[in-house]
Amino acid sequence: MTTVSLEQIQSPADLRKLDQRDLPELARQLREFVLQSVSRTGGHLSSNLGTVELTTALHYVFDTPHDRIVWDVGHQSYPHKILTGRREQMGSLRQKGGISGFPKRSESRYDDFGTAHSSTSISAVLGMAVASRNAGIDRQHIAVIGDGAMTAGMAFEALNNAGVTPDVNVLVVLNDNDMSISPPVGALNHYLARLMSGRFYAAAKNVGRAVLQHVPPVLDLARKFEGHAKGMLTPATLFEELGFNYVGPIDGHDLDALVDTLSNLRELGGLQFLHVVTRKGQGYKLAEADPVLYHGPGKFDPSVGLVQPATPPRPTFTQVFGQWLCDMAAEDPRLYGITPAMREGSGMVEFEQKFARRYFDVGIAEQHAVTFAAGLACEGQKPVVAIYSTFLQRGYDQLIHDVALQNLDVTFALDRAGIVGADGATHAGNYDIAFLRCIPNMVVATPSDEREARLLLTCCYQHPGPSSVRYPRGAGAGVPAGDDLATVPLGKGVVRRQGKGLALLAFGPILYEALKAAESLDATVVDMRFVKPLDETLLQDLVQGHQAFVTLEEACIMGGAGSAVLEFFARAGIAAPVLQLGYPDEFIDHGDQKKIAAELGLDATGIEHAIREHFSCLLEA
């Protein structure tokens, strides 16, 4: 009997040398390696445990990297990374200088398309397939997309386009694990559930084929009848109506079934749709029992599982938002909470429990989330869209056309603003200040701590028009948020430290690093609170007693808060020098949040150094 070892597999070519009977043992070792590796580094666990067999079968059947595989979202690609020569690098996962937690073209020739945002795989694969067709290259193109990602309109736009694109080889593998991050929602999920329950159809089809296979003419007639009878025995097969040959559902943890089915589909070519049913957290009982909790854990002991720390950590900005949302909803029955499939990540679990009729998880459909909110606002309601900064980018047209242009009363709570750490460039919320402040009617608020977050949320919620409040991942300075619904004047900043000569204008939590730096500089420090409307009166007052200014923001410098200050100074004819500190014009890779901030010069030491270097003459005077 052949003894198989994961260490033998340095590439998919090594995998394809194995006997098919060895694959279950390899998959067992691969699953154990994923569990042990993620427990040491942190990262996405449940989704990767669920795709071990599927990944193994895909690389066993298809000639990668000649054949293309695109992993939608990409947080289920750890087994793929391990089987494609990156096993020894998994210890550096999501760390500075280490490998990414998502597929990345610059990282490996097996990563055919960079993914991290949802529902892009089918479009990308179709583009690849057309390019291969026109170049005369015989190649397979596979999109692996989860059931959550199938709720986004972009996936169906691609399916619709594929259905009228001739002579392309496209295989869409629907990884149906009944779970995206939050529990899946919507009619599509219900449709898949009904397909899964269609046991009678599957059994009848198999029995009929067994009986009729010896009578070919009758079997052919039965096949023709089957095409018409499908709709009577199961729900109408949407994917076949779009031009795909639908196969499934099959057990995504049965390697024999996977290999045999994928081999058949490879030979068929054309437009194929394989429905695979997997289980998130497969093989690790704790993750199977609570796949949401184990979706993206930090470091932990697999033998014990995740445990609560002895000392409760400081509340995060997300938790502050979640509590404010519940408190405001109790006061105002017009408040509706909307999330695009990020109930846990956006802190809305308690809101759903308390205000179920006013809670809406619209699935991974950011464009719909924004326009749905606009519709509510048209009818006098006050929707709050809780959305990650990086995901609001996906609803930008709707933000401009459907909300801001009509000056509708929608509040956007932007979580994960700024550097997000281990998730890297794809999830960084670096651009929202720049892309929001240019939109007419939009308010842009930047709270500096937990208390300010609650105050500015109330202020923006009470503003009768579109508004946004951006806050970072993790905890703030430790300032108690309070439990009242007090507010602050719209567009008004506050001086936090009075100094002389130099004024530091802070937008957001970087205020506290500015305060530290200001001590040795004897500089004035202002919590600006708002990028738009900018507190122009305060700036005019500051000009009277200060010779130079420094703007500080945890966002891109280009078009950001510092740019807003410079634009005002130019309009007002103010000639004071301004140093802008923020993120450079580049994508910032994954790593520890605090270390990245220090490397960018956005901690107290870096801020002081930059100021002393830039304003040396002023400080020496």
Residue 118 has a pLDDT of 86
pLDDT, tens digit, 9 for 90 and up, residues 367-405: 999 999 999 999 999 999 999 999 999 999 999 999 999
pLDDT recorded at residue 235: 41
Q: Which amino acid is at 241?
A: E
Determine the pLDDT at residue 109: 95
Q: What is the pLDDT of residues 76-93, one digit of tens each?
A: 899 999 999 999 999 999
Confidence of residue 592 (pLDDT cuts 50, 70, 90): confident
Q: What are the pLDDT digits (tens) for 212-230? A: 454 455 545 544 444 444 4
Single-letter amino acid code for the residue at 110: Y
Assign 432 a pLDDT band (cuts: 50, 70, 90).
very high
* Beta pairing partners, 383: 336
pLDDT on residue 2 = 62
How does 114-145 read in b/e, with b if 16+ C-beta sit within 10 Å? bbbbbbbbbbbbbebbbebbeeeeebbbbbbb
Strand-strand pairing, 335-339 and 359-361:
parallel
Residue 354 token pair: 């308390």
CA distance 569 to 534: 12
Q: Which two tokens stand for residue 504?
A: 């530091």
Q: What is the pLDDT of residues 250-264, one digit of tens each?
A: 899 999 999 999 999
Is 603 a residue whose pLDDT tops 90? Answer: yes
Picking from 114, 13, 119, the residue whose alpha carbon sits closest to that of residue 60 is 13
Q: Is the dihedral of CA 600, 604, 609, 610 positive or negative?
A: positive
Which residues contact residue 412 at a Cβ distance below 8 angstroms, ignoring those fewer than 6 apart? 384, 385, 387, 392, 399, 466, 467, 468, 469
Residue of 358, 394, 437, 473 marked active site: 394
- What token pair was written down for 453? 């977050």
The single residue listed with the structure tokens 């930090």 is: 298
Residue matched to tokens 């193994």:
56
Rounded mean pLDDT, 68-82: 93
In angstroms, the CA 156 to CA 126 distance is 12
Number of DSSP helices (H) and strands (E) in the chain, helices first: 26, 17
Is 532 strand, coil or helix?
A: strand
How many other CB atoms are found less than 10 A from the CB of residue 486?
A: 10
Pairing of β 530-532 and β 443-445:
antiparallel
Q: Collapsing DSSP states into helix, strand and coil, what is residue 47?
A: helix
| Residue 394 appears among annotated catalytic residues | yes
Q: Clarify whether 280 is annotated catalytic.
A: yes
Cβ proximity of 607 and 519 under 8 Å: no
What's the rounded Cα separation, in Å, for the pair 323 and 329?
Answer: 10
Measure the CA angle with vertex 280, ends 416 and 182; round to 5°. Answer: 40
Run of H or E residues at 137: none
Distance in angstroms (rounded) separating the CA atoms of residues 541 and 62: 68
What mean pLDDT do residues 33-57 have? 93
**Pairwise CA distance, residues 145 & 152, whole Å:** 11
DSSP one-letter code for 38 = H
Tell me the C-alpha distance between 528 and 548, whole Å: 16
* CA neighbor of 472 nearest in space, from 433, 524, 438, 518: 433
Strand, coil or helix: 607? helix
Region 311-321: what's the mean pLDDT? 91
Catalytic residue among 68, 104, 280, 343: 280
Give the torsion sign (CA, 415, 421, 426, 430). positive
Q: Is the pLDDT of residue 189 over 80?
A: no
In whole angstroms, what is the distance from residue 466 CA to residue 403 CA? 7
Q: Among 7-16, 214-223, 475-484, 514-523, which stretch is predicted with the lowest mean pLDDT? A: 214-223
Give percent of the chain above pLDDT 70: 90
Average pLDDT, stretch 283-287?
89
**Catalytic one of 366, 450, 452, 513:** 366
Q: How much is the average pLDDT of 15-32?
A: 95
Q: Which of 109-118, 221-230, 345-354 has the lowest mean pLDDT?
A: 221-230
Of 214-228, 244-258, 267-281, 455-469, the poorest mean pLDDT is in 214-228
* Mean pLDDT value across the chain: 89
Q: Map residue 226 onto helix, strand or coil.
A: helix
| 18 vs 29: CA distance, rounded Å | 15
CA distances from 499 to 467, 519, 539 (A): 32, 9, 15
Percent pLDDT > 90 in the chain is 72
Residue 183 confidence class, pLDDT cut points 50, 70, 90: low
Question: What CA–CA distance (Å, rounded) separates 573 from 570?
Answer: 5
pLDDT band per the 50, 70, 90 thresholds, residue 205: very low
| Spatial strand order in the sheet of 68-71 | 68-71, 141-146, 170-176, 271-277, 245-251
- DSSP secondary structure, 175-210, as one string: EE-S-SSSPP-SHHHHHHHHHHT-HHHHHHHHHHHH
Could you tell me the two tokens for 518?
A: 């200001």
